[in-house]
Amino acid sequence: MIDNFKKMIRYLLFIYILSVPSICFSQKPNILWITVEDISPTLSMYGDSTAKTPNLDRLASESSIFTETFTTVGVCSPSRSSIITGMYPVSIGTHQMRTGKDVFGWGSRNYNGISNAIDVNGDSIPFHSVVTPPEVKCFTEYMRAEGYFCTNNSKTDYQFAAPVTAWDQNGENAHWRNREKDQPFFSVFNFDVTHESKMWLHRDKPLTVEPSIVPLPPYFPDTETVRNDVARNYSNIELLDKMVGDLIKELKSDGLLDNTYVFFFSDHGGPLPRGKRSHYESGLKVPMIIRNPYDKSKKYINDLVSFVDLAPTMLSLAKINIPDHFQGNTFIQDENINSKRDYIFGSGDRFDETYDRVRSVISKEYVYVKNYHKDRPAYKDVLYRKNIDMTNEMLKLNEEDKLNADQKYWFRESKSKEEFYIKSEDPYSLKNVISDSKYKHEIKKHREALKSWQRRINDIGAESEKRHLEHMWPNGIQPKTQKPELAFKGNIATIRSKTIGASNAYIISDIDFQPSLDDGWKLYHKPVIVNKGYIYVISTRLGFEDSDIIKIKL
C-alpha cells in the first residue's frame, strides 16, 4: 500500500511538472529584431548623414553601435541561413544563392519549375531545399522550448523551408501581441523597402535626397545616372526610417520598450554595384545597433562581430545553454568571458546564374581574399542587378574605356590568386598589395587563419553543387521525414522522431479539422498532457519534406 502511495505521489508530481511553465516568464528578457535589407553602414551614427533618419538616430542615442559587424555572405539566402542556424553556410551547404523558392513565411515547399542555376562544371541545378547536417536546427527552437513566443514577419529565405518547429507565428500577421500574458517574446520584423529591387520599383517615387549632394565612393563614375541611383538608395533609407519609428512606437505603446532588447541590422551590404554580392567590406559589412533596456547609454563597440554570433548571443541573453555545434561566439555577455574574435570569415560561391568561389578574411586592419578561379572576371554578370540603371551605364562606360583605374578595378577580366588590402590606407579595397614584401608576415597570418577556419568548419565549397545535391536528394528526390511515433501512458503523450535530426510539433484540438502550417503548431520538447479531443503530430527536418500528420482521437 505504501508503494502504491509513493507511485501516486510521483505520478502527481510528474503531472504538476508538466502543467507548469518550464521557466518563470518574468526572468526572461524580450527581444525584438528589426532586420532590413541591403544597406551598408551609410547612416548618421556611422558618420554619413546624407539620409535623414530621426527614428534611427533616436534609437542609436540609447544604444550600443557596433562598428565592425559582418555577414557571412554578401547576399540574402546564405546570409539568412547563417543567422537562423548559427552556422557558416559553407559548412552546412547553404552557400549557393538561391536554391529554391522558400523565401517568405513557411516557404513555397514547391521545387518544380526551371532554375537558371549553373554550377562550376556547367551542370544545371534544379530548385531544391538544402538538407543540412542532422544536428542543425533553427535557434528559435531552443527559445520556444524555454517558453519564448517566437514570431517572424515575414521573410525567411533560409535555403530550406521554415519548419513549423521554428516559429509560433510566421507570416504577415505574426506579432508579439499574440502571445500569452507576460510571456517573453522573440519577434522579428523584416523591412524590404531598401531591397535592391526597390532601386527600380521606386523609380516613380520622388527623391527625398538631392542627387548633387550624395557622396560617391571612388569606384563610381560621377554621372547623373549614378547620382540619381545613389540618391534613390538614400531616399529608400529615409522611407525605412519611418517604418522603424512606427514599430518602436508599437513597442512603446504596449509598455514593453524598457524591458525589450532591440536589435537593428541589415542582412548584408547595400544594393549598389560592388556592394551586395561582394566579398569585400562593401558587401559584407553592415550596421548593427542594439538597445539594451538595462543600459541605455550610447557607446561605440569596435569588436568584430559575425552573423554566426547572433544565434549563440540570443540564447545567452535568454540564459539558455548554447549547443556545441554552433560556430559563433556570444558578443553580449559576462565581461569575464573572453570570446572576442580576431577575424571575420566571408565566402562567395554561386550568385543566381553566375558562379565563382572566393573566400575572405577580414581583421581590424586588413582584408585578405583568396580566389579559386583566377580566370573568372571579378565582376559577376548577374542578370538581376542589370535592372539598376547605373549598372548598365557603368558596363557601357567600361566597354568604351571611359572609366578610371579605380572604377575599372571591379571589371577586371581575371584575378590574382590572392588579394591583400590595408583598411586604413585603402578603405575601399582597390590597391592590392599582395606582392609587397612589407606585409609578408600579415599575409601569412591571414592565409593560415583561412586554412585553419576551413578545416575547423569543414568548408565544402570545393564540392560541385550537382554532386552535393546528389548527396542531399538521392536520385533527385527530396527525402521525406518519417511519421513520428506517438505513445500514451494515461493522458500523457510522448512523441519520438524516427528520422535522425528531426523535431516534432503537435496541435491539440477540441474539433476534428485539417491542420495547415499556419495553425499554431506547438514545439514538442517534453511529454504533453492530453485530456480530450484530438492530437495532431508532425515530424520535420531541415531540407526534408515534412512527415505525414498523425491524428489520434482521445
d(CA 492, CA 321): 27
The 344-348 sheet, strands edge to edge: 344-348, 358-362, 366-371, 418-422
* Pick from 194, 116, 201: nearest CA to 388: 201
- Beta bridge partners of residue 361, listed in sequence order: 345, 368
Q: What are the start-end ranges of the E strands in 222-294?
A: 260-266, 285-291
C-alpha cell at 243: 517604418
d(CA 296, CA 108): 41
d(CA 331, CA 309): 7
Kindly calculate the radius of gyration of the chain based on its CA atoms and give it in whole angstroms: 25
d(CA 479, CA 467): 16
Residue 110's contacts (CB-CB under 8 Å, 6 or more residues apart) are 101
Cβ atoms 113, 119 nearer than 8 A: no
User: Which residue in this structure is represented by grid cell 578574411?
Assistant: 361
Cβ atoms 125, 95 nearer than 8 A: no
Q: Are strands 149-153 and 185-191 parallel, antiparallel or unpaired?
A: parallel
Q: Catalytic residue at 138? A: no
One-character DSSP codes across 154-176: SB---SSPPPTTT-SEESTT--G
Residue 346's contacts (CB-CB under 8 Å, 6 or more residues apart) are 70, 71, 72, 73, 74, 279, 284, 359, 360, 361, 362
Q: How many residues does the chain have?
A: 554
Residue 268's contacts (CB-CB under 8 Å, 6 or more residues apart) are 38, 71, 73, 74, 75, 76, 79, 276, 283, 284, 286
Residue 11's contacts (CB-CB under 8 Å, 6 or more residues apart) are none
Helix, coil or strand: residue 509: strand
* Pick from 96, 107, 88: nearest CA to 152: 107
Spot the catalytic one: 24, 76, 138, 150. 76
Active site residue ranges: 76
